[in-house]
């Protein structure tokens, strides 16, 4: 596999992804991806960044240069973090809980680990960014003032838990807006939030 395009095609076959599914996983228009992978279009940096972001287990040296193995070699040195398979987070709304008080069902190890814990996703309101069945890695946010507008967060409130994009309310500093592609936007009082985690990793399962 001498070209990047050949390696991407091999990776998609390894992941059992057709162009339609890959476009949703990577967050790219299907026509753009098809042109780059299956037609005469050049491989764009947007595609390469998306692959490295969605599949952190893939070696950048292999993808970009064709050097070494496809999967990263430092697997044996990776840090393990808790995975709560029986405590799914919702791309809709579910009853609240404190995941940090629960006992993990297992552990997940990934290179370049950023997450503090992992949860499976249920619900479809965050598609095509996050699919039901995906696993998200999250990292606790210490202060609501640290919220990055548009980033995806796991929100735990008095009566709900969910993953949403978060935006401040320009008129009321006590309010935060929860936004997702397939669910009506709604406000939440920051005083009701008992814990907040930023989604920093996503594992695609299929």
pLDDT at 67 over 50: yes
pLDDT at 143 over 80: yes
* Residues 193, 166: Cα–Cα separation, whole Å: 12
Kindly list the domain boundaries of the chain, sorted by start residue: 4-74, 78-203
Instruction: Report yes or no: 51 and 15 within 8 Å, Cβ to Cβ.
Output: no
* pLDDT value of residue 93: 53
Which is higher by pLDDT, 144 or 178?
178
* pLDDT value of residue 99: 54
Which is higher by pLDDT, 199 or 107?
199
**CATH 2.10.109.10 matches 78-203:** yes
pLDDT tens digits for range 4-26: 999 999 999 988 888 888 888 88
Average pLDDT rounded to a whole number, residues 45-63: 85
pLDDT at 84 over 70: yes
pLDDT at 52 over 50: yes
| CATH number of 4-74, picked from 3.30.70, 1.10.260, 1.10.357, 1.10.10 | 1.10.260
Under the banding of pLDDT at 50, 70 and 90, the label for residue 87 is confident
15-29, 95-109, 131-145, 190-204: the lowest-pLDDT one:
95-109
62-66, 94-98, 115-119: the lowest-pLDDT one:
94-98
pLDDT at 174 over 70: yes
* pLDDT value of residue 90: 67
* Residues 153, 196: Cα–Cα separation, whole Å: 7
Rg (CA), the chain: 18
84-93, 96-105, 148-157: the lowest-pLDDT one:
96-105
Percent of the chain with pLDDT over 70: 87
What are the phi and psi torsion angles at 172 (to 5°)? -140, 110
């Amino acid at each position: 596999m001498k070209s990047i395009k050949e390696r991407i095609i091999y990776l998609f076959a390894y992941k059992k992804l057709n162009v339609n599914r890959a476009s949703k996983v990577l967050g790219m228009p299907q026509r753009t991806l098809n042109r780059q992978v299956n037609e005469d279009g050049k491989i764009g940096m947007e595609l390469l960044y998306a692959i490295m972001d969605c599949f952190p287990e893939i070696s950048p040296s292999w993808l970009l240069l064709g050097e070494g193995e496809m999967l990263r070699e430092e697997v044996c040195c990776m840090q393990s973090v808790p995975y709560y398979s029986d405590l799914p987070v919702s791309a809709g709304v579910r009853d609240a809980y404190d995941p940090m008080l629960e006992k993990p069902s297992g552990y997940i190890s990934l290179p370049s680990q950023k997450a503090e814990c992992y949860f499976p996703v249920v619900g479809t309101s965050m598609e095509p960014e996050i699919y039901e069945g995906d696993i998200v890695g999250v990292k606790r946010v210490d202060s609501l003032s640290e919220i990055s507008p548009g980033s995806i967060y796991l929100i735990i409130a008095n009566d709900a838990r969910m993953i949403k994009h978060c935006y401040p309310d320009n008129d009321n500093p006590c309010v935060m807006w929860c936004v997702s592609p397939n669910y009506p936007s709604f406000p939440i009082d920051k005083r009701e939030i008992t814990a907040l985690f930023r989604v920093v990793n996503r594992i695609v399962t299929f």
